[in-house]
Amino acid sequence: MIRYLTAGESHGEALITIVDSFPSGIELNEGDIDTELHRRQGGYGRSRRMKIEKDSAKVLSGTRGGKTTGSPITIIISNKDWKNWKEEEKITAPRPGHADLSGAIKYGEADLRNVSERASARETAARTAVGALAKTLLREFGISVLSHVISIGGVRARAAKVTPEKIIEAQKRALLSCIDPAAEELMIAEIDKAAAKGDSLGGVFEIIVRGVPIGLGSYAHWDRRLDGRLSQAVMSIQAIKGVEIGLGFDAARKVGSKVHDEIFYNKHSFYRKTNNAGGIEGGVTNGEQIIIRAAMKPIPTLQTPLKTVDIITKKTVTATKERADVCAVPAASVVGEAVIAIEIARAMQDKFGGDALGEMKRNYVSYQDYIREL
Ligand SMILES: Cc1cc2nc3c(=O)[nH]c(=O)nc-3n(C[C@H](O)[C@H](O)[C@H](O)COP(=O)(O)O)c2cc1C
């Protein structure tokens, strides 16, 4: 199954990832990775850095003739801001809400930059690149991963039905990936208001996976439950503080008959008229769309900083003020798509074999035949 590590600091020379066990025979081009990297850099409310960085991926290994070979894939994303980066004086005022204080104590650091450079969500550019590979693999099986922003601060989108067309339309506007244009305007006003006060905002986004076969994941062991694996992947994104699948927390407030999706059968397939389970029952996909929501907290670096304690003098000071996003929920949703695509790709390899695309396809087709013949 795909596994990967990332390396690199926010203002270091580059971000690097090595992706192991990616199947052979998949067409891979750097342009597809760049598309996802650019999406991650967008969204209203981002910092000026997003204009300095125009991320671009270079694939250094694991492909030949434009196709993956099954060997480890190395991807490098250079940091253009690196050239502008001067070694500045030590940073000693930890930001509340960041890894600064705990990280400095844990690693025995007296300069918080040594912590924040790696704790920064710049690392998610590398994860987005791996996600682009996973999406390429999933496309071979008609599986797509989309996301949209549901709320920013106290402003919530109102949309009767979420459709892929509406999501694509919202993404074209390149603002907040919200499918309700009226709410999107209010969200922008909310971000402007927060920015004027030197404050920041979080929000909620939703990820939808379409075209997933029934039977990915397993109920047999805790660490094979797909809901658990997807939640961990999303929760591991910087600033994500809540994850829901299907009805999520709302399910706890309803009676069972209003929650569980009744089962129907027609033309050789089982189906549901509702999808409150969000496509997963017992840790296994049930053939419906997978629906995951994530709550992102407000960005911790504030232009009107909060009180903190200097780690050297122990005096009360204001937290370090750095260039930062006011709101990065649309960017986080792109990262969310990436980490979900990686987990679904792994689950596909687990079920259908993971060495070569041809092998996966043969097994997939035979499994679909088996389901049709049930
Ligand atoms: C796409 C994205 C962009 C972010 N941009 C910033 C930023 O500009 N400034 C900042 O302080 N935090 C930013 N964050 C959040 C921090 O990285 C995060 O809050 C911090 O590392 C502490 O981790 P935790 O919130 O998970 O506890 C961003 C997060 C994401 C996902």
Has residue 51 got a pLDDT over 80? no
Kindly state the percentage of the chain with pLDDT values over 70.
97
Q: Rounded CA gap, 30 and 306, in Å? A: 41
Tell which atom from ligand 1 comes closest to the C-alpha of 300: 11
Residue identifier of the C-alpha nearest atom 4 of ligand 1: 121
Distance 292 CA to ligand 1 centre (A): 20
pLDDT of residue 49: 64
Average pLDDT across the chain, whole number: 95
Contact 69, 62 (CB under 8 A): yes
Instruction: Output the pTM of the full model.
Output: 0.97
Q: What is the pLDDT of residues 238-247, one digit of tens each?
A: 999 999 999 9
Q: Name the burial class of residue 87, with classes exposed (0-12), middle (13-18) and buried (19+) by CB atoms within 10 angstroms of its CB.
A: exposed
What is the residue extent of each domain of the chain? Answer: 3-372
Q: Rounded CA gap, 84 and 11, in Å? A: 9
Distance 70 CA to ligand 1 centre (A): 33
Is the CB–ligand 1 distance for residue 332 below 6 Å?
A: yes
Angle of helix 329-352 versus helix 30-41 axis, rounded to 10:
140
Paired with 4 in beta bridges are 19
Architecture of domain 3-372: 4-Layer Sandwich (3.60)
**Is 299 annotated among the ligand-binding residues?**
yes
Has residue 219 got a pLDDT over 90? yes
What is the average per-residue pLDDT within 128-139? 98
Tell which atom from ligand 1 comes closest to the C-alpha of 119: 21
pLDDT of residue 52: 65
What is the average per-residue pLDDT within 267-283? 95
Distance 158 CA to ligand 1 centre (A): 27
Q: What is the pLDDT of residues 295-333, one digit of tens each?
A: 999 999 999 999 999 999 999 999 998 889 999 999 999
What is the average per-residue pLDDT within 157-177? 91
